[in-house]
Structures are given as C-alpha cells and as structure tokens.
Structure 1
Amino acid sequence: MEFDFAARVGRVEPSATIAISNLAGELEADGVDVVDLSVGEPDFPTPENVVEAGKAAMDAGHTGYTSSNGIPALREAISEKLAADGLDYGTDEIIVTPGGKQALYEVFQTLIDDGDEVVLLDPAWVSYEAMAKLAGGSLSRVDLAPHDFQLEPALDDLAETVSDDTELLVVNSPSNPTGAVFSDAALEGVRDLAVEHDVTVISDEIYKEITYGVEATSLGSLDGMGDRTVTLNGFSKAYSMTGWRLGYFAAPKPIVEQASKLHSHSVTCAVNFVQHAGVEALTNTDDAVTEMRDAFDERREMLVDRLDEAGVDVAVPDGAFYMMLPVDGSRAGSDPDDDHAWCEAAIEEAHVATVPGSAFNAPGHARISYAASEERLREAVERLVDADLF
C-alpha cells in the first residue's frame, strides 16, 4: 500500500544527533569500544532525593491525570524559580510539559502560521529548524560563527535580518551547540529590535544553571520584554532527568490560553508522579547541581588544554557542556568544509562519535559533548590524533 503523507513531515529530516547515536550503538553492539560524544545527556544519575520523591509520589497514588497545565505545587515552584531569575510569571502563565521539546513544539504551533518568518541564530539546535518547518514557518538566519559564536558582534547582522515581518526570534543562552553565553549588551540589542519590530522572542534557558564563571541573564527580565518573551526551561540538563521527560514554558497569559488548547488535546498533561519529582528537583538539589557543574567545568578546562596541545583552537564555552571543533574534511579525503565526512571518519576510524556542524547550520565544525568522564575525553582526543584527523 502506498501512503499519502502529510507535507509537514516531508519538510524535516531525522535528527542528526540521534542518527550518530544510533550508529554508535550499532558499533557497540558489534563489540566496538566507541567514545560517544554525540548526545547531550549528563553522565550523572538523577539526584537520589529526586528519585525517592518520584517513588514516594507513586506510592501515594499520584499515578492518574493531573490538571492539564501541571500540578499547582510544581507551577508554584517554577514561578518561584523564575522570580529568582528576575522573571514575573504567575502560575496561570506556566504550562508543564513532557519534556522541553514538547514545550517548544507547542509554542511554535501556537504562534507560527504558514509563511511566518522565524529568525534563528546559527549555529542553532537542530530542533528549532524542525519545529519552525513543521509549523510552516519561513526561516531567516544570522551566522554567529565568525564571531566565536557570540551574539554581540553580530547585532548589526541581526538588525538587518529582523523586520516588521518577523514573527518569532529564538534565543538560546547558554547555547546548544556552542556553549556560548550571550552578554547583557547582546540581549539588550535583542530587546531593542524586538520592541522596535513588535517581535515575540523564545528564550530557551534549558542550560541556564550550567555556566562557568559567568551568569546567564534571562531575556524576559529586561525592560520591555516581559510581555513578549516565552521563557522555556526543563529538568533534563541541570537535574540529569533526561528520561523523566519534564519541561515547561512561561509566557504572557494570552499565549498560554491558546497553547493550553493544543496541550490538552495532545499530551493531556505531564506524568503525575514525575511532576512531584520536579518539585523536589527545584527545591532541594542545589548541592547536586553544583557538584555536576563543577565536574563539567573541570572537564571543559582539561579538554581545551588537550585540544590546544593537538593544535586545535576552539572557542571556549562559558556554559552548557558542548564544544564546537573546527574540522578539516580533507583529512577524511573530502572537501575541507565537509564536516559529515570528518565525523564519519571519526567514528569509523577513531571510534569517536561526534555530530556534524552542518546539522546546526555550522559547516566545517563538529559538536562534541563533554558529558563524559575525563578519562574518556582524553582517550577521544588521543584517538582522533592517532587517526590523523587533527
């Protein structure tokens, strides 16, 4: 039987990150020792007290439906967390979702119609492009790569891109895939453009708690941004809760009222007992978050040093747990900018899994995650050097 598929699914490609991870899994199934630096998942267990809170919630019978937008206790905890970040969102301006991706999907589907312009800052997380295309949006892009992935030097380029026709601008700081944390001056530049052109902005702050020596400012805390910013966050990264699938977004009430219809007719609600675990994560995990962040910081510094010794000059990330490596495809027998060929050679010859920068609209680069032990990170660099890929 031939199927007539909807046009929207033909607009997007499978996730490059998942594709590389699947290939790494196949090699490992064949007995190959792969250093997998492709997936953005902390290598720490979920804090024990959060796990116990989830178990206790199940034992207490919290296994049924909840109010669609989230249990009151979690929305209150989220509101308090956002207030500490300088954001003023009431509990009726918050929707709890099964993962940050679902939050993003609901926002795009609520705000974007066919042909609406969405502006992305490249390199950009692959799902932003996919979400925009699924909603029928038209993409415009601003390249941050020539500026060490920082936004401030590219504000003139952004000003040339954003116009009265722009419907949505996506800002991710700290950034996946670069680890860049945008300066207050850069965010103020975004604010000025958003106000001038009446643009709604998504501020994806999923890595906000993972920074090194700097603070990530919440865009919605700036004057003039409270009524035009959708703040998105979740529990996967800072609390090592990837498989729990828990996220949220906070937005002006008119957006939440419309998004709630999509939310209730699709996922109904986030998992009940997982929401109770989320309350514990927000209120009683400061030490666990600090321990994990400090470990990432040590790995980051070690990795920068090892890459420097190998002759690789990287833009040092100030947040998240990613690094963008400049790569030379000619070392894999292809064109210099062919990062796909380089990444294929890395996994096939060195058994190191990375993600092509082209997946993030950053050709000539490869993304690595340092959410792995120092020992494995050292080994990864050694393997890439031995394979003559640097």
Structure 2
Amino acid sequence: MAKLALFRALIASMLLSLCIMAAPAAGQDVQLRGLGRFDGWRENALIGYGLVTGLAGSGDTRRNAVTRQALRNVLSRLGTTVSEDQISSRNVAVVMVIATLPASANVGDRIDATVSSIGDARSLAGGTLLMTPMLGPDQRPYALAQGALVAGGYSFESELNQQQRNYPTTALLQGGATVEQAVDAQILKNGEVSFLLSDPSFGTAQRIAETINARFGFGTASARSADQVRVRYTGDPSDLTNFLARIETLSVRPESHPRVVVNERTGTIVAGGDVQISSVAISQGDIKITIKAENVASQPGFVSGFASDVRSLVVTNTKLDVDDAVGDTVVRFPNTTVADLVLGLSRARVSTRRMIGILQAIKTAGALHADIIVQ
C-alpha cells in the first residue's frame, strides 16, 4: 500500500509539472521604445546614379549605350573630350546607389550605401565607385558616395566555363557616403508630440495614455486612435529631449493579438501559447491509388504462314492498387490551445506540412480563434 501511494504521488507530481509547463506565459511589461515611435522620427531614402571603374573586364559591354554616355559625361567634366568610338573598355559599369539617411544626421557623418548594376556587367568585384550625389525625395542632394566596393561574391568565365558565387552584381560601400546636408526630425508640432504604435491596438493605446498621465499628470496624454497617442508639451523646447527620453522608458503591458504564422515553404508554424481552439475532431490520412497499364502482344504462331489476314493482337492489361497511407491518424481534442494541438499531432507523427493544412481546415471550420498569416 505504501508503494502504491508513493506511485500515485509521483504520477500526480508529474501531471502537475506538465500542466505548469503547458500553461501560457503571462504578458510582460514593455518599454514604449519597443512599441512604436514618435511621429516625425523616421529614416529617409536616398538614391543616386553613378559609375564603377576598375573592373577586370567584367563591366558593361559596348551594347550598353547608357554606360558610354555616362562615361563621356564624366570625362567631359574632367576636361577630356572623347567620342563613343573611342570608348571600348569593359572595366566600367553603370550602377544605381541607394542609402538610408537617419532621422538625425550632421554634416560629415558617414553612412553605408548599396551599389547595384543596371547594365549587363557580370561582376562589380574590385571596382571603385566614382563620386555620386545621393538625392532625397525632394531631388536635393543630401550625401556624396565614393569609394571601393566590397562584393559578396565573384563570377569568372573563360571558354564557356563559368564559376559564380552569390550575386556579384551587387556590392556594399561600407561608410562610403558622406552626409553633406544636416537633417533633424521635427517631432514637436503645435505643442504636441504624437506617439505611433507599431501594432495598432485600442487597449494598448489607452494603457499608454494612462501610464503617461500617471507619470506627468492628468490630461498630458490622450489616445486618439488605435495607433496614435497625443502628448501635450508646454515646457522649454530645449528640454524636449529629456521629456521624450523619460516617456520612452515608461513600461506598458501591451495587448496580445492571437495569430498563427505558417510558412509552407519551410514547414514552420509559430503561434502564441494561449491561442485557443474549440473542441474538434481531426482525421488525417491519405489514400494512394496506383493504376498500371501493360500492353502485351498476342502472336498466333500456329497459323503463321498459312493465312495472310491474321495479325498480332495487342492486349492491354490494367492493374489497380489502392493503398492506405502509413500513419493515418484520428485525433480528438477538447478545448485547448494551438501549442497543445501541435504537441499532440507531433506525438502522433504528423508531419509539419500536414499540420499547416490541419490548422487551415480548423480555421475554416470556425474552431481556431486566431488569424492565420501565410508567408
């Protein structure tokens, strides 16, 4: 009896530990800097058009008229006049240069740029980008890019033999763009600062406003929509940075949205531990049907040579096989979560790709209470 009681206690403790492990994790407080950004604090895209020189015969061919014209323009600005017939080098490639200007940048700051070929060059490895103005959306130059390129691959070809690694027609200009015009984000507008949520939620926006009011006084913040919280600021403009820094460090517990993300290409399923599923019965199995047709010629040998109108007869034999797939599964689940469902299907040796199909079918049946995002 003592051994039986000890065994029952051991089983109870194991079940209790499993229940604790299966319980969804409680939400945690997150600082506001991880939930969104201030309106006006954004990066800006820059683009430019230039030439890469120094390529070892892997540049644009003579068929690319844009390259010859661009090279003539560069040489003419440097005081050299040449005709198109005199330009036959394959050591030059015409490229597009893109970069991202930070929300706050000073003159002389260096940023990275990406260079991509727009001609028929085979590789940009070993090339050097000539001075290229980087324009903003307003067509004003904000930076100048120039320097040696770093390509993450190579491409060599000789007598119909080719060796290539990665994509050498795109290269990185590490810190090769210099900011020429200072920019500063305008965050304070009409005495207000707007905080924009990355994941819109009315509950989270209201909690943010309540937290700010509790810290700086009632009426300081108000939730205008699911993705915007307005904050009033009437202090000294020179102290705005300190005010925003204190707001960013405030912590709020955001609302969680039930979502299930599936990737059919890689067979990946990602879901929160508390995504609920109603009672459901799942039957998963395949039936494999194979039809084989064999053609057999029947040759009447006993009359061969005696009758000219006797011919061979072609007979088609058809064989039909029906096989049940190995691992057919019928599973019943009470009210549970996606985590428990996936765990149960894994123990039943159901593949990940079949799980994706099961989750989509459960969603169609109305038993999965979450959004399915297919990547």
Query: What TM-score results when the alignment is normalised by the length of structure 1?
Result: 0.19
In proportion to residue count, which structure has more strand? 2
Query: What TM-score results when the alignment is normalised by the length of structure 2?
Result: 0.20
In proportion to residue count, which structure has more helix? 1
Q: Which has the larger radius of gyration?
A: 2
